[in-house]
Structure 1
Amino acid sequence: MIQILEEPIGVTYASLISLAFDVCDEFILVKRDQIGLHPNAEALLDRLQPYVKEMKRQDEWPGTRLLGHYADVYYFGCTEELKALLLHISNRLYQWMQPEMPEDLCFLKNGKAWLINSAHERMSMIDTTDRSEILKIREIEGIMIY
C-alpha cells in the first residue's frame, strides 16, 4: 500500500488521474445521504448520468464505512471522455468532497480498490504491488509517498 502524503494538486493531480485512467477500468463517486449537495454538484451528477454504469446504495466504499447511514455510489467506466471531464472539473484530489462536489473519487482495477481517496480525512493511498505501476507513481512529480 502506497500512502500519498500530500494532496495531489495541479499537474500532480492531472498526472495521477491520467495514470489511474490508464491502469484502472472503473471509478466511483459518492453522494452521501446525510450531507446535502450544492446545486453545482447536483448539476455535475446530472451531467455524468449518461455515463453511470451502475448506482448502488451502500454503507461503505474504499476508505469509508458509514454507521447507520447510506450513500449512492456511482460506478463509471474509465473512458477518455470522462478523464477529460474530471480533469476539467477539478485540479485537486481532495476537492471531491460534499457539499461542493460528489465525494471520494476512487479508482478500481478489476473490481479491487486501486486509488483510495477519503477527501474529508485528507487521506489517499494506492493499493498495488505491480512494479511497473509503482515506478510510474514514483515518476509523478510532486507525489510524496510513504
Structure 2
Amino acid sequence: MIQILEEPVGSTYKQLISLAFKICDEFILVKREQLELTEKTKILIEELKPYVNTVKKQEEWPGTRLLGHHADIYYFNCKPELEELLINKAKGLYRWRHPDLLEDLCFFKNKEVWLLTTAHEQLGFITTTDRVEISMIREIEGIMIQEIAVSYHEV
C-alpha cells in the first residue's frame, strides 16, 4: 500500500489521474443525500450522466461508512472522455468534495480498490504490489508518497 502524503495538485494530479486511467477499469464518485447540491455540482452531474454505468444507494464505500445516512454512488468505466473531464474539473485530488464537486474519487482495478480517497480528511491510498505500477507512481513528478507494508496475521 502507498500513502499519498501531500495532495497531488496541478500537473502531479493530472499525471496521477492519467495513470489511474491506464491501470484501472472503473471509478466512482459520491453524492451524499443529506448535502444540498450547488449549481456547479448539478452541472457536473448532467455532464457525467451519459457515462454513468449505475448509481447505487449505499451507506459505505472505500474509506467511508455513514451512520444512518445513504449516498448515491456513481459508477463509471474508465474512458478517455472521462479522464479529460476529471482532469479539467478539479485542480487536485482532494478537491473532489462538497459543495462544488462530487466526493471521494476512487479507482478500481479488476473490482479491487486501486486508488482510495477520503477528500474531506485529505487522505489518499494506492493499493498495489505490482512493481511496474509502483515504479510508474514514483515517476510522477511532485508526488509525495510513503510505502506502507501491510501484513495480515490470523489471531
Find runs of 4+ consecutive structure 1 residues off by over 6 angstroms: none
Partner SS for 1:97: coil
Give the partner amino acid of 1:109.
Answer: K
Give the partner amino acid of 1:47.
Answer: E
- How far 1:8 sits from its partner (Å)? 0.3
- How far 1:99 sits from its partner (Å)? 1.4
User: Within 5 A, what are the aligned runs for 1:34-113?
Assistant: 34-113=34-113
CA offsets per residue over residues 88-142 of structure 1, 9 Å max, x none? 1112111100111000111011111110010000000101111100000011111
1:143 aligns with 2:115: no
CA offsets per residue over residues 53-95 of structure 1, 9 Å max, x none? 0110001111111111100000001011110111111121111
- How far 1:33 sits from its partner (Å)? 1.1
Counterparts of 2:42 and 2:104 in 1: how far apart (Å)?
15
Counterparts of 1:92 and 1:139 in 2: how far apart (Å)?
18
> What is residue 8 of structure 1 aligned with on the other side?
8
Counterparts of 1:35 and 1:112 in 2: how far apart (Å)?
28
Partner SS for 1:99: coil
Counterparts of 1:37 and 1:60 in 2: how far apart (Å)?
20
Alignment root-mean-square deviation, CA: 0.7
Give the partner amino acid of 1:14.
Answer: K
Q: Give identity over the alignment, percent.
A: 60
Report the TM-score when normalising by structure 1: 0.98
Note the residue ranges of structure 1 that are not aligned, 5 or more in a row.
Answer: none
Larger radius of gyration: 2
